[in-house]
Amino acid sequence: MNSYSLTHLADRVLLRDLATLVARDRTTTAALLAHIGEVDARRLYLPAAHPSMYSYCVHELGLSEQTALKRIRVARIARQFPAIFAAVAEGKLHLSAVILLAPHLTPETADELLAAATHKSHSEVEQLLAERFPRPDVPARVEAIDRPGATTLLTEQLSTGQVEAPAIEQLSTWTVAASVPRPNMTPLSPQRFALQVTVGQRTHDKLHYAQALLGHQIPSGDMAEVLDRALDALIGQLEKRKFAATDRPRPGRRRSAAAGRHVPAHVKRAVWERDRGQCTFVSGAGRRCPARTLLEFDHIDEVARGGRATVPGMRLRCRAHNQFGAERTFGIGFMSHKRENARREADEKRAARAQAAAEARAAAEKRAAAARAADEKRATEARAAAEAAAERFKELDVVPWLRQLGYRADEARRAAARCEAIPEASLEERVRFALSFLCPRTASRDFRPAERRVGTAA
C-alpha cells in the first residue's frame, strides 16, 4: 500500500494531520537549527574533511545550496538571541522573518522586535521594519536597459570537461551570504555549457580588442574560442604566481631544504603536482577535503619545531584545515591569541596607512588651496593694474582734445602715438607735445615736460 496516497482520509482528518505535521516540522526545524549552530560553533566539519559549514551541509547532509545558506545564517543569529529557537518551534517566526530582522537585532531591541514580528508574513515584516527603521526615498531615475556599448550580455557555449564547485563553499567559517546569485553556467549537453554574464564597457572593449588581435587565428571571432584562449593565458600567469609553474625551470644548484617559511619554487611545483591542486586533509572515515581554492603550502612538521621546506615535508592544505592542524598542535587558545595579535597588527597598519593617506590628502589640499589663493591674488592684481592703466590712459588720452581743435582722426591718432614717449607727463604736457608734432613751426621751441625743463635749468 502506498503510504503517501491520502485519498482515503476524510477532509477533517486530512486537515488535522496537516496541522500536526506543520507543528512537528516547526519543532524539528528549531532543533535542526540548534544542531547546525552547535556543529558550526565547534567547527566539527573540519575533522569530517569539509572546509566550511556550508560544504558540510550541502555535501554531507544533502541540503540544497539555498536551504543550507538560510539555515546556517538563522542558526548563527539564534545563537546570539536564543529566543528565536522557541519562536520558530512555536510557529511565531519563520526563517525569512529572522533574516529580515537580523540587521536590526541588538540585546536592547531583540525582545521587542521579535514580539512585534510574531505571526507576521514576509511582506508584513518588511512593512514593520520600514516603519521602525525608515530609509530615504530612492531617487527618481530612468535608465535604458539596452544601452549600445555600455554593457554586453554574453551567452556562449563553452567546451569544458569540468566546472568548479561554487565559490560560496570557500566563505569563511563565520560568514555566510544572505543569498547567492542564480547559476551563471548552465549545462546544455555533454561537455557543453551556456555562460551568461553582464560585463562593463572596459571588459566589452577588451573582448573586442582580443577578437581583433586573434583575427588570423580565429577568423570567425567565435567568443567561446576567444575566452578559452584568454583563460589559458590567465591560468598560466596564476599558476606561475601560485606555485612557480614553468616549462623551463632554471638549472643550477637546488637547496635540499629551505629554512624558515620560505618555500623554494621547485618545491612548490612538485608539491602542487603531487597533491593535484587539492587540500590533502583526510577525515577519519577516509574522505579527502574537496577544497581547491584558498590553498596554502603547509609544513608537515611545523616550522617552530624544525620543519623544512622539502617536497616530502610539505603538503597542500586549505586555509581552514591549515588553521585546524595548527590548533590541534599548539592549542586553540594559543592560535586564537596569535590570530588576534595578527588582526590587531593588521588593523594598526591599516589605520596608520589610512592616517598617512589622510594627512597626504590634507597636505595636498592645503597646497592646492594656497596655489589657488596665489593665483587669485595674482589675477586680482593683474585686473587692478589693467583697470588702473585703462583709467589712466582714458584720462591722458589726447585724441578727443586734438579732435576738438579740428584735427582729423588719423592725425590725432598719430600724434597721440608719439605721446607714448612721455608716459609720466600730464594731459596738458601730452597735448602740447602732440601739437608740436602736428604744428612744428608754430609750436614753442622750448616745449618739454616741466620736470625735464627744471633738470636742464639746473
CA 71, 72, 74, 79 torsion: positive or negative? positive
What grid cell was written down for 97?
522573518
43 shares its domain with 72: yes
| Nine cell digits for residue 20 | 500536526
pLDDT tier at 155 (50, 70, 90 boundaries)?
very low
Judge contact between 159 and 191, C-beta under 8 A: yes
- 122 and 15 in a single domain? The answer is yes
- Over 60: is that where the pLDDT of 432 sits? yes
Measured distance CA(243)–CA(255) in Å, rounded: 17
Verify that 204 and 232 share a domain, yes or no: yes
Q: Are residues 120 and 41 located together in one domain of the fold? A: yes
Residue 303 maps to a domain: yes
Is the model more confident about 445 or about 4? 4
Does residue 339 sit within a domain?
no
Alpha carbons 292 and 272: distance in angstroms, whole number: 11
Residue 54 inside a domain? The answer is yes
Residue that terminates a domain, selected from 330, 354, 377: 330
441 within some domain: yes
Residue 295: other Cβ atoms inside 10 A: 22
- For 43-63, the pLDDT digits (tens) are 999 999 999 999 999 999 999
User: In which domain, by residue range, is 63 found?
Assistant: 11-132
pLDDT in the model for residue 215: 84
Three cell numbers at 336? 586564537
Cβ contacts of residue 289 below 8 Å, gap of 6+? 49, 50, 51, 278, 279, 280, 281, 282, 283, 318, 321
Mean pLDDT, residues 189-201: 81
Same domain, 227 and 270: no
Amino acid at 243: F
Secondary structure letter of residue 305 according to DSSP = G
Same domain, 15 and 93: yes
Tell me what pLDDT residue 43 has.
Answer: 93
In a domain, 358, yes or no: no
pLDDT for position 387: 79
Q: How far is CA 201 from CA 68, 149, 152, 153, 286, in A?
A: 36, 6, 8, 11, 48
Q: What is the pLDDT of residue 1?
A: 57
Q: Taking 60 as the threshold, does the pLDDT of residue 171 lie above it?
A: no
Confidence of residue 168 (pLDDT cuts 50, 70, 90): very low
Provide CB contacts within 8 A for 46, sequence distance 6+.
281, 320, 321, 324
Q: Given a cut of 90, is residue 151 above it in pLDDT?
A: no
How far, in Å, CA of 123 to CA of 141, rounded? 25
Least confident segment among 249-253, 275-279, 427-431: 249-253
What pLDDT score does 178 carry?
40
pLDDT class of 135 with cuts at 50, 70, 90: confident
Contact between 53 and 173 (Cβ < 8 Å): yes
Among the residue ranges 120-134, 188-202, 300-314, the one predicted with the least confidence is: 188-202
124 & 21 share domain = yes
Spell out the residues 6+ positions from residue 229 whose beta carbon is closer than 8 angstroms to its own: 210, 214, 218
- Please enumerate in sequence order all residues whose Cβ is within 8 A of that of 72, keeping only pairs 6 or more positions apart, or say none: 36, 40, 53, 54, 57, 176
Written as one string, the DSSP assignment of 378-439 is HHHHHHHHHHHHHHHHHHH--HHHHHHTT--HHHHHHHHHHGGG-TTS-HHHHHHHHHHHH-
Residue type, 295: L
Q: Is 176 exposed, middle or buried (0-12, 13-18, 19+ CB in 10 A)?
A: buried
* Assigned domain for 300 exists: yes
C-alpha cell at 119: 505571526
* pLDDT value for 452: 41
Is there a single domain that holds both residue 58 and residue 86? Answer: yes
Percent of the chain residues past pLDDT 90, beyond the cut = 41
Q: By the 8 A CB rule, do 305 and 313 touch?
A: no
Checking if the pLDDT of 252 tops 70, the result is no
pLDDT at 72 over 80: yes
CA dihedral 191, 197, 203, 209 (to 10 degrees): 40
Report how many domains make up the chain.
4
Last residue of a domain, one of 243, 275, 294: 243
Q: How much is the pLDDT for 77?
A: 96
Q: Across residues 253-265, what is the average pLDDT?
A: 67
Tell which of 315, 330, 345 closes a domain: 330
pLDDT average, residue stretch 114-118: 94
Which residue shows C-alpha cell 593694474?
385
* pLDDT at site 255: 53
C-alpha cell at 244: 612557480
Is the model more confident about 78 or about 156? 78
Chain-centre distance for alpha carbon 123:
31
What's the CATH number where 430 sits? Answer: 1.10.8
Q: What's the rounded mean pLDDT across residues 380-390?
A: 82
Place of cell 560544504: 55
In this predicted structure, which of 23-32, 281-290, 368-377, 429-438 has the lowest mean pLDDT? Answer: 429-438
Q: Please state, in angstroms and rounded to a whole number, the distance separating the CA atoms of residues 96 and 267.
A: 49
Identify which has the larger pLDDT, 117 or 399. Answer: 117
Q: Report pLDDT for 153.
A: 36
pLDDT of residue 211: 87
Question: How large a percentage of the chain has pLDDT more than 70?
Answer: 81
Does 231 lie in the same domain as 200? yes
Residue 355 in domain? no
Give kind and range of the element (H or E) at residue 219. none
The chain-wide mean pLDDT, for the chain, equals: 81
Residue 2 lies in a domain: no
- pLDDT at res. 156: 36
Q: Please, which pLDDT band fits residue 237 given cuts at 50, 70 and 90?
A: confident
Does residue 103 have a pLDDT over 60? yes
User: Contact 48/283 with Cβ under 8 angstroms?
Assistant: yes
- Same structural domain for residues 156 and 128? no
Lowest mean pLDDT among 273-282, 344-353, 406-415: 406-415
